[in-house]
Amino acid sequence: MNTSWRFAWRNIWRHPRRTVLTILAIAFGAALLVFSIGFQLGQYDLMIKGSVSIYQGLIQVQKEGYLDEPKMRSSINNIQSLAQSLREKTQVTSIAARANGFALVSSNKRSYGTLIAGVEPKYEKMVSIIPDTIREGTYLSSDSAHEVIIGKSLASNMQIKLGDELTFMGSGRDGSIAATILPVTGIYESGSKELDRNLLQMPLKTFQETFAMGSHGHAIVFYHDDVKQDLVFKQQIKQALSSHKELVTLSWDQVQPGLKQMIELDYSSGWFMYVVLIAIITFSILNTFLMSVLERTREFGIMLALGYKPFNIGKLVMLEAFILTLFALSIGTLIGLLINLYFAAYGLTFDGMEEIAQMYNMPSTLYPQISFESTLIGPLVIFVFTLISALYPAMKIRKLQPVEAMRKI
Amino acid sequence: MKTLTAFILFSLSALPAFAAEPPVAIDLIKSAIDNYRGLNSYSEASMTIHRKEWQRVVEMKVWTQDLDKSLVRVTAPKKDKDAGTLLIGDDMWSYAPKINRIIKIPGSMSNQSWMGSDFSNNDIARADDIIDQYTHRIINTSTENNKKIYTIESVPHEDAPVVWGKEILRVNEDFVFLEHQFYDQDNQLVKTLIASEIKLIDGKYISLRQRMTKTDNKEEWTEFHTSTIKFNIEFSSNTFTLSNLRNPR
Amino acid sequence: MQSFPLISALAWRNLWRNKRRTSVILFAMILGIWAMIVTAAFMRGMAIQALDDTIENLTGHIQIHHKKYLDDPVIENSFSISDATLIASLQHPDIIQWSRRIRVPAIISSERDTRGLVLVGIDPQSEAEMSFLNSAMSEGQYFQSPDDKGIIIGKKLAENLETRLGKRVVVMSQDLNNEIADRGFRITGIYDTPTEGMETGFLFMTLTTAEKLLNVTDVNSEITIISRSLEHTNAVLKSLKDKNPDLDIQAWDTLQPFVKLIEEMYTDFQYIWHLIVFMAMSFGIINTLLMTIFERTREFGLFQALGLKPRFILAQVWMEAVFMLIIALLIGNFISWLTVLSTGEGIDVSAFAQGMEMAQLSNIIPFIIVRDDLFLANFIVILLGLLTSLYPAWRASQLVPANAITRV
């Protein structure tokens, strides 16, 4: 076995320039893919994070059926203690309980039908950026305070300022009239028009009291910076809740499928281009492999005459391709990885980043994702393609006739 | 026709049995209405909202005057005591005693349910001149228990703000409506209001129980049951005012 | 040089001496060129479509609103059209078409369901050429006259409401006194667009009908303007803004910034992609040419020994590369053209419908070959191709005759 390897290695370096060019081609492809995929995946991570951190969270626990038909009665019992037990079981504190409702909200000048969320201020800060986007006043101070915060657009449409009172009227969980008056203690601007125009937040216990919820709520929102691990977290939570058959655990893409699809589309079109690129490189070097086989026809002829099986010669050729490719891929992957590591530390920006970043609530610097997937998947595909293309010349060997072959120049 | 008005209308029936000549539909309806122009009423009723897994009963007092003024005040359950709704013409105000505030219900909320029932704010609020926006005709006359029963088909005019394809009312000769059906524009029955417990009170025949059911969901219905009712009451001039809505006397 | 025909003839023959090798490298080159052109066409299609959609889907090139309208799109925030200055400024020579609209929130109800949406009252004639509605009709018909009493809704909305063409629905909104304004309307038309949001978010009626419903006259929520071309828009915008300082006047790129973004990013990306593809190809080109030379070392040595200048050899090898480039370009362009032709309307990505919705793109992306893009791709290939093949050609010309001849 050792001899074959040495033999293969020597054969590779018989024509240094040719080999170097081939290695360059493969390494180039590998480095490019590692860099490109690293950034693509990194970008997706940022997009997902940007999107779920606004309000929706990475994972949500709800009563089964609530997602499709959000009724007041479709609720989670003892939601705060359940949220607390989840925090303990998963060792994650960024978990917040919420209750959702709809009410007629009136200021002196106008009335609007709006969404109301009852939140746990202490934990809501950890799952959503809204508390950080308060422009005037302060965020809610406690679970049962008599306070409400409102989005900037809605505040101006209703012509109210900080300190003004809002009257809430709606239907409680038991159908009774839900009514309360709360002062506006904070005005937020999340950047999402939908939220700013439609969502008010009050403390959870205040909500529960107003809407006759008792200790019920509608959603437990889980957030974590490491968005890639969403499925892992989902599993953890599911297990922690295994005794609650009536609850479902939903990951962000189940709550908002659009983003995931956009990412999938982008990734697919990325791969289309990668495959084309790999194909081009493969064909580029196919000639090299072919050449290296054809020019040794005489040599192979002699080997055959000496008793070497054609199959073994084929194996030798494949081994050459294998070693060369592996060598080239290692170099390329390493270079790509180094580049990624550099940018992972310093970040990458380019023109137009600012605006896009704003749209998706992302930071304006891109960081690549450093993971097994992002680093190895590109080179892996190149590897497969290259070896397949090496099969072609290897097959040609089987057709060789010793005498004819030896006669070749 | 808007539902609550419809059954307030038809449950307080009056006219004596008809003369021999068959009535013209719209006259029938209009006469019934004209009959109440000067009619005031005070009633005590309970509304039951029934769902597959729960049920809620709200008890209330209702004052009506002419056909465009009504005041509803909740007496039970305790949590909602003294809450109320005031209707004048097309306008509706709601009072929440918990916060001592009155809120005018804007048009955009008119399709939201009234007090959690199967009736929308719109169903409750709209005044009756909408009757002019339909074409009515009697499509059947029959006899049951020695009383004549007229089946009237009401088809909304082209641009009437009514979603139904048609509505069918069954009224008897005592001007008690027995049934009000709502059909979509494909002639599918969507919901039905059925009256029962017809009694003679103060010289009038009235239905004391009306239930609204949905054709495609038998588990969900709302029912009104009137326990007390008096007619021709004298109301003080400030009965139908916002201050009265807020402060019961 | 006079020997040009000779060089060319030799180059051409040499090219085909080893058919397989030439074919393989040609294939790589054709693939590369195809990749460049087709992906460029795809991205261009996305960008153009997003732009067209935006402009057609009610945005137009420029929109005029009451200053407060965009924050609070209610009927109170409307402006009058009887202002002489406004009318005069709309006569700008580069404005091809303008149209007034009433655009307010409303609620539509059927027997089975109620939805909130935006009511758009339009002037059928001027609107016909401007927006998508006229050509997106799938059932019934577009408004026949300004007095047409029917309404037009989107297919998905009709489905959600469980209603159909010909049925009546009730539309409710608020008039200037905050009173409810509601009326029944027949659905006289249904439209179908690739973006679901366009189908569920709007209902259309004529301006006259809207004015009757809301009991108003000469009240406009917005005026949409189509200018002569995208390039003219800025000048028109400036002129309008100068003459009407009290109104909010904006162009499509500030009203819908995302679209512009796609276009800008795309252009940058294109250059990079082309370069990358070419680099991938270039390894193969150089390698192949080098191999050719290696094979023919003896031959070249012989040429030189016979007195041919190194220049000649360089020219000949280079010519081989040039021929390969030309063939690859011809075939590559042709196949790209065929590919784009075969995609017809475009490719259907409705598997990603919700994602496309988020990106404000429709589900069918057309492939569009734009002259500039085509030029760019070909230019890069030719330029870089010529440059990279210079190296092997030069190597060939550097062979020392004695060494060359004795090579085996």
Higher pLDDT, B8 or A313: A313
DSSP letters along A77-97, please?
Answer: TTHHHHHHHHHHHHT---EEE
Query: Mean pLDDT across the stretch C200-214?
Result: 91
Nearest to C107 among B108, B182, B184 (CB): B108
User: Quick one: which of B74, B24, B13, B70 has its CA closest to B44?
Assistant: B74
* Cα torsion angle, C27, C31, C33, C38, sign: positive
Residue type present at position A170: G
CB A150 within 8 A of CB A127: no
Q: Which of B35-39, B96-100, C39-43 has the lowest average pLDDT?
A: B35-39
CB contact under 8 A, C261 and A283: no
Give the count of beta carbons closer than 10 Å to the beta carbon of residue C125: 13
Enumerate residues 63 to 82 of chain A having a beta carbon within 8 A of any beta carbon in chain B.
73
Chains that touch C (3 or more CB pairs under 8 A): A, B
Please give the pLDDT value at position B124: 72
Query: Mean pLDDT across the stretch A106-113?
Result: 83
Chain A positions with Cβ closer than 8 Å to C = 15, 17-18, 21-22, 24-25, 28-29, 32, 153, 156-157, 257-265, 269, 272-273, 276-277, 279-281, 283-288, 290-291, 350-352, 355-356, 359, 409
Tell me what the pLDDT averaged over chain C comes to.
83
> In a mutagenesis test of the B interface, which of C104, C164, C170, C188 is the best target, namely the one with the most B β-carbons within 10 Å?
C170
Per the listing, tokens 């949409």 go with C224
What residues contact residue A140 under an 8 Å CB cut-off, 6+ apart?
A119, A121, A124, A131, A147, A149, A185, A186, A201, A202, A203
> In a mutagenesis test of the A interface, which of C15, C72, C293 is the best target, namely the one with the most A β-carbons within 10 Å?
C72
- Which structure tokens are listed for C386? 């010529």
Size of interface B-C (CB pairs under 8 A): 60
- pLDDT band, residue A79 (cuts 50/70/90): very high
**Which long-range contacts link A80-85 to residues 24+ away (Cβ below 8 Å)?**
A80/A120, A80/A204, A80/A215, A80/A217, A81/A215, A82/A220, A82/A241, A82/A244, A83/A120, A83/A123, A83/A220, A85/A240
Give the count of beta carbons closer than 10 Å to the beta carbon of residue C263: 17
Phi, psi of B161 (to 5 degrees): -80, 55
Please give the pLDDT value at position B4: 47
Given a cut of 50, whether residue B9 has pLDDT beyond it is no
Angstrom distances, CA of residue A281 to CA of A24, A346, C173, C238, C276:
10, 31, 63, 51, 11
> In a mutagenesis test of the B interface, which of A169, A174, A197, A210 is the best target, namely the one with the most B β-carbons within 10 Å?
A169
| Highest-confidence segment of A99-103, C230-234, C303-307, C403-407 | A99-103
Query: Mean pLDDT across the stretch A40-55?
Result: 86
- pLDDT band, residue B38 (cuts 50/70/90): very low
* Cα torsion angle, A204, A210, A213, A217, sign: negative
Chain B: residue nearest A210 by CA? B98
Given a cut of 90, whether residue A88 has pLDDT beyond it is yes
User: Could you tell me the residue ranges of all domains in chain B?
Assistant: 4-246
Convert B203-218 to b/e letters by CB count within 10 Å (16 or more is b): ebbbbbbbbbbbeeee
The percentage of residues in chain C with a pLDDT greater than 90, rounded to a whole number, is 15
Size of interface A-C (CB pairs under 8 A): 127
Higher pLDDT, C49 or A279: A279
Residue type present at position C399: L
Q: Which CATH number fits domain B4-246: 1.20.1260.10, 3.40.630.10, 2.10.25.10, 2.50.20.10?
A: 2.50.20.10
Q: How far apart are CA A251 and CA A267, in angstroms?
A: 20
Given a cut of 90, whether residue A185 has pLDDT beyond it is yes
| Highest-confidence segment of A243-247, B197-201, C10-14, C82-86 | A243-247
Find chain A residues with C-beta within 8 A of C72's C-beta.
156-157
Given a cut of 80, whether residue A182 has pLDDT beyond it is yes
Please give the pLDDT value at position B36: 45
Given a cut of 50, whether residue A124 has pLDDT beyond it is yes
Tell me what the pLDDT averaged over chain A comes to.
87
- Which structure tokens are listed for C332? 């590559």
Query: Mean pLDDT across the stretch C79-108?
Result: 86
Given a cut of 90, whether residue A221 has pLDDT beyond it is yes
- Which structure tokens are listed for C32? 């590369």
> Residue A401 class from Cβ within 10 Å (0-12 exposed, 13-18 middle, 19+ buried)?
exposed
- pLDDT band, residue C407 (cuts 50/70/90): low
Chain C positions with Cβ closer than 8 Å to B = 105, 107, 109-112, 114, 116, 149, 163, 167-170, 172-174, 178-180, 182-186
Chain C: residue nearest A277 by CA? C277
| Measured CA angle at C378 (ends C375, C383), to 5 deg | 115
DSSP letters along A151-201, please?
Answer: EHHHHHHTT--TT-EEEEEEE-TTSSEEEEEEEEEEEE--S-HHHHHHEEE
- pLDDT band, residue B33 (cuts 50/70/90): low
Q: How far apart are CA C399 and CA C248, in angstroms?
A: 74
User: Quick one: which of C55, C135, C98, C52 has its CA closest to C220?
Assistant: C98
- pLDDT band, residue B129 (cuts 50/70/90): low
Please give the pLDDT value at position B5: 44
Q: How far apart are CA C10 and CA C299, in angstroms?
A: 12
- Which structure tokens are listed for A193? 């028009």
- pLDDT band, residue A355 (cuts 50/70/90): low
| Highest-confidence segment of A400-409, C46-55, C202-211 | C202-211
CB contact under 8 A, A104 and B109: yes
- Which structure tokens are listed for C120? 């758009």
Q: How far apart are CA C297 and CA A269, in angstroms?
A: 45
Q: What is the pLDDT of residues B84-119, one digit of tens each?
A: 899 887 788 989 888 888 888 877 777 778 887 878
Query: Mean pLDDT across the stretch C398-408?
Result: 68
Find chain A residues with C-beta within 8 A of C354's C-beta.
257-258, 261
Please give the pLDDT value at position C350: 67
Find chain A residues with C-beta within 8 A of B77's C-beta.
176
Given a cut of 90, whether residue C36 has pLDDT beyond it is no
Query: Mean pLDDT across the stretch B209-225?
Result: 89
Given a cut of 70, whether residue A341 has pLDDT beyond it is yes
Find chain B residues with C-beta within 8 A of C173's C-beta.
107
| Measured CA angle at A221 (ends A217, A223), to 5 deg | 165
Given a cut of 50, whether residue C392 has pLDDT beyond it is yes
- Which structure tokens are listed for C225? 């303007």
What residues contact residue C40 under an 8 Å CB cut-off, 6+ apart?
C270, C273, C274, C369, C373, C374, C376, C377
Nearest to B103 among A106, A171, A176 (CB): A106
CB C146 within 8 A of CB C185: no
Given a cut of 70, whether residue C336 has pLDDT beyond it is yes
Phi, psi of C168 (to 5 degrees): -95, 145
Please give the pLDDT value at position B106: 78
The percentage of residues in chain C with a pLDDT greater than 70, rounded to a whole number, is 92
Please give the pLDDT value at position B17: 34
User: Quick one: which of A149, A128, A132, A143 has its CA closest to A196?
Assistant: A149
Q: What is the pLDDT of residues B226-239, one digit of tens each?
A: 898 888 788 888 88
Q: How far apart are CA A269 and CA C269, in angstroms?
A: 14
Q: Which of A179-193, A343-357, B81-95, C221-235 has the lowest average pLDDT?
A: A343-357
Q: How far apart are CA A156 and CA C121, in angstroms?
A: 26
Q: How far apart are CA A132 and CA B226, in angstroms?
A: 54
Please give the pLDDT value at position C405: 67
| DSSP-derived 3-state class of residue C75 | coil
- pLDDT band, residue A237 (cuts 50/70/90): very high
ipTM of the complex: 0.78
The percentage of residues in chain A with a pLDDT greater than 90, rounded to a whole number, is 40
Please give the pLDDT value at position A356: 65
Please give the pLDDT value at position C361: 67
Query: Mean pLDDT across the stretch B41-46?
Result: 90
Higher pLDDT, B152 or B37: B152
- β strands within C13-143, DSSP E: 62-66, 95-109, 114-122, 137-140
CB C59 within 8 A of CB C195: no
Minimal Cα–Cα distance from C165 to chain B, Å?
A: 11
CB C34 within 8 A of CB C337: no
Query: Mean pLDDT across the stretch C309-320?
Result: 83
Please give the pLDDT value at position C70: 82
In which element (H, E) is residue C180 found? strand C180-191
Q: Which of B194-198, C8-12, C265-269, C375-379 has the lowest average pLDDT?
A: C265-269
Minimal Cα–Cα distance from C280 to chain A, Å?
A: 5
Given a cut of 70, whether residue B8 has pLDDT beyond it is no
DSSP letters along chain B, please?
Answer: --HHHHHHHHHS--PPPPPSSPPPHHHHHHHHHHTTTT--EEEEEEEEEE-SS-EEEEEEEEEEETTTEEEEEEEESGGGTT-EEEEETTEEEEEETTTTEEEEPPGGGTTSBSTTSSSBHHHHH--GGGGGGEEEEEEEEEEETTEEEEEEEEEE-TT-S---SEEEEEEETTS-EEEEEEE-TTS-EEEEEEEEEEEEETTEEEEEEEEEEETTEEEEEEEEEEEEEEES----TTTTSHHHHHS--
Nearest to C352 among A24, A265, A279 (CB): A265
Given a cut of 80, whether residue B66 has pLDDT beyond it is no
CB contact under 8 A, A283 and C277: no
Query: Mean pLDDT across the stretch C225-236?
Result: 85
Please give the pLDDT value at position B11: 39
CB A241 within 8 A of CB A70: no
Please give the pLDDT value at position B20: 39
Please give the pLDDT value at position B7: 44
CB contact under 8 A, C170 and B158: no
- pLDDT band, residue A351 (cuts 50/70/90): low
Minimal Cα–Cα distance from B151 to chain A, Å?
A: 36
CB C275 within 8 A of CB A277: no
Give the count of beta carbons closer than 10 Å to the beta carbon of residue C246: 11
